[in-house]
Amino acid sequence: MLRIVRETGSTDELPDSIGTLVSTTIDALPPLARRVLRYTSVLGRSFRISTAREVLADDALRLDAATRVLLRDFLEESGTGVLRFRTAMVRDVAYDGLSYRRREQLHRRAARAIAATTEGRPEEAADQLAMHYSLGNDHENTWHYARIAADRAMHAYANAEAASQLERAIVAARRLPGVTDQDRSAVWALLGDVRESVGLFDSALEAYRRSYRLADDDPLARADLLLRRASVRERAGAYSMALREATKARKLVAISDDPRAVSRVDANAAAFQAVVRLRQGRIGDALVRAREAIEEAELGDEKAAVARAYGVIAGAHMMR
């Protein structure tokens, strides 16, 4: 921009934005080099040269030494066999110059190229594959890999990444009539768990609500979702609403013909109610609920409920 001012002697020729200036600079490249730059932008800020060559091959484009010289103002080396856009804006402007149809094609090529490098273990690159298949409008593969990527992210406590992948899976499922309500309900429930873990309580409750609607023929699953909602309410300090959710969960499974399942729900609900009562300072009621939870848990072999109940009992005695 300073060079333009020096050459023209005024600011009249300055572009409206830096993005416009970058776009003008990209447009000044030779046609083949410009296409290479735009096509490789689908791979993100940095990418492997081998992957880029696979993406470019179908259009007979080459990322050879001569082309890299032409693109040296835009791309730089970032380790062995890896190139990187010098700035995120350069990458974004190059990407914006692609038509939507071309983007879809290139993202699908990128997914195939990445899958080919995994030595038969595409799950190892599930996060990248889910992203490229999603942007390439390949809904079936997006549904498959996004759930794998979400599971891996949750095990690594990368909750933001897990939420992003679960949202991708949910969007893909809308275009897949073969995905059952039960499967979609499970994904919404996981999204609620992830959102709750990072303190997004309203968003978590919305995810659980959607999961609950899809589980309309499974009272046990619905009861579990009500208890998850109760936990969110409790964390948000809405104790009365939390207790109502837990009570509703117990009523929902009361007519079930599976006594062990009923005991599991009752044990967890009673243990949760004991926690809330203790937080409210109602020590006697908390102890009653905790002992009830222990009794129910013995029938359903629900050790987590027992642990929570004993924690409440210990806390109640200390408060006394």
Q: What is the mean pLDDT of each run of 10 residues along the chain (320 residues)?
A: 84 81 90 95 94 93 92 92 94 94 96 90 93 96 97 95 96 96 96 94 96 90 92 90 90 80 87 92 94 85 90 94
Q: b or e along 186-208 (b: 16 or more beta carbons within 10 Å of the residue's beta carbon)?
A: bbbbbbbbbbbeeebbebbbebb
Q: Name the burial class of residue 253, with classes exposed (0-12), middle (13-18) and buried (19+) by CB atoms within 10 angstroms of its CB.
A: buried
Buried b (16+ CB within 10 A) or exposed e, 30-65: eeebbbbbbbbbbbbeebbbebbebbbeeeebebee
Spell out the alpha helix ranges (H) of 216-255: 219-235, 239-253
Round to whole Å and give the CA distance between 236 and 199. Answer: 9
Q: Tell me the whole-structure pTM to 2 decimals.
A: 0.84
Report in angstroms the alpha-carbon separations of 2 from 15, 72, 88, 255, 289.
12, 21, 21, 77, 73
- Interhelix angle 139-155/159-173, rounded to 10 degrees, is 160
Phi-psi region of 81 (alpha: psi -120 to 50; beta: other; left: phi over 0): left
pLDDT given for residue 258 in this prediction: 79
Run of H or E including 84: strand 82-85
Query: Which residue, among 173, 166, 131, has the nearest Cα to 151 in the 3D structure?
Result: 166
Which pLDDT belongs to residue 100? 94
Q: Which of 42, 49, 43, 23 is nearest to 34 (CA)?
A: 23
- Give the per-residue pLDDT at 300: 66
CB 91 within 8 A of CB 74: no
Q: 235 Cβ partners below 8 Å, 6+ apart?
A: 196, 199, 201
Whole-angstrom Cα distance, residue 69 to residue 310?
69
Q: Are 215 and 221 in contact (CB under 8 A)?
A: yes
